[in-house]
A and B are shown apart, each in its own frame.
Chain A
């Protein structure tokens, strides 16, 4: 990758989230990205039925549009690599993608999927947004959220640790002196 490349990675993980893919399939988004100094947009669109056809010509998975290099794909086992090399991640609010991005220190904008039962994506997104670790937006607010996004104002997330739970389980089981496992 070129050093000057600033990539935006959109990811829905293993889910379907057409409302998000549809919102990022937008020339206006590309113009906003360009005005903010981004040069590339990669969309991991997942299992949904919506296929991008605005930011790339219909039937094409790759193109340069409005000065932005755009590509999309369904899924990749190496989403972590896309996340860690991105300058901005726009993600569904699944815990995997969220903590992958936060612990990689990549600026993150999450869009909870409003179709999920008793929307716990909304809960996680809102809690982390309240802590200043990410920006959380509804699908309809996405373009404005990208426009006003300022990664420098985010609060770095301190990675958690299983050590406390491990110690409590060991105590409960009668292994009080046990340490953590070997990796």
Chain B
């Protein structure tokens, strides 16, 4: 019995001997200029491509898509403009999901709601004022009562802690929209046929190594600073440049897009009937490399926001 108690104590000591790990919300990295223009857009031409893990030949019309995720700075600018134009208000918002209701201080605006069919487990997304961002730990901008300002270190990082409503509102404000899943996937993998007649599994090709993208335990610059879970990297970070001795792979997609695998999940524009979960694509710095495969998706209710979720916009024009 004494030995068992001793063993338990040893295990306890081992566990408590580890230094406390920092929260993602409590860290501030150095500002890194990647040289990638976050205002740039790319054209994805019309045509067939191999869609999904099982490579279904699918046609997609021509569309435009942002080269990078929307940055914190871009989103702060949007909020300031939208508050001034009356499209966004700052205050308390009610959130509802799975029979639970709670309130958050933040910025938000009107959403027209989703069609409701009363299907099993279907969440009703009613019309009303919805929360875009919550003024809480992890938000990478400050609000002084009059204006939103991106934190300096994070101004070229992807905008995170933004709900689907917040992402959708951003794109709509600039007369664009969130990409559909089929569009996003084509933009990520292109039309190339690779190993065993499959389409590209990753935006940059068939292989993945730590310096290709920002994913869980990829040993990137930020994981070295802040531990395994790491942090977001600035948009376009994996562009072949070397930062402070850390050499990145140029992980650009066939159409010139960055961060189409890892860094942050990206909200998609599709409304899936009979459930209304919003899908996300691309994997994130929180997830293993398998989630970075172009067909993998995650999902959550439109009210959800997290430090590993961002977005980019698409357009038909």
| A and B pair up | no
| Chain B interface residues toward A at CB < 8 A | none
